[in-house]
Amino acid sequence: MRTSLARTLAGVVFAAAMVLALAGPASATPAPPRVHTTLSIVQSRNVIKAGQKDVISGRLVADRYGLAHKFVYLDRWFGKWVPVRVGLTGPHGWISFRVWPHVTAHYKLVYRGNQQFAPTHSGVVTVKVVA
């Protein structure tokens, strides 16, 4: 009985070693690191009247070059950050969103990244709405 258990155990160890040897290293070629990105934000007006328009703009950049044709989200604070709009950056990485808040609102821009570029988000701007 002891001999058959030892043979079985040796067989299992040998089989596991073969599987690992055939599979090769788990990460033979590591994925290259993603390029660092930054996202600026600016608003056209700090204070507006209810129903008036404001423009939230920003630029998505990597290595001092604007990133064209990338999805950027406009998030608004509703007790938590909620995406309210999405748009594509222009040829030099610029993006703009028009907003018509009826109450004071906080906004930020978010880039979720991809395989080549790292995700990032902007700072927060506040559009103050007065009566």
Domain assignment present for residue 54? The answer is: yes
Q: How far apart are CA 8 and CA 40, in angstroms?
A: 63
Task: Give the phi and the psi of residue 59 in degrees, each rounded to 5.
Answer: -135, 130
Name every residue whose Cβ is closer than 8 Å to that of residue 21 and which is 6 or more positions away in sequence.
Answer: none
Indicate the pTM of the whole model. Answer: 0.76
Number of structural domains (the chain) is: 1
Domain assignment present for residue 99? The answer is: yes
Domain assignment present for residue 23? The answer is: no
Q: State pLDDT tens for residues 94-107.
A: 999 999 999 999 99
Q: What CATH number is associated with residue 76?
A: 2.60.40.10
Q: State pLDDT tens for residues 30-40.
A: 878 999 999 99
Residue 25 has, within 13 A of its CA and on its CB side, a CA count of 4
Lowest-pLDDT choice from 13-22, 28-37, 61-70: 13-22
Mean pLDDT over each residue of the chain, to the nearest integer:
87
Q: Which domain holds residue 113?
A: 38-130
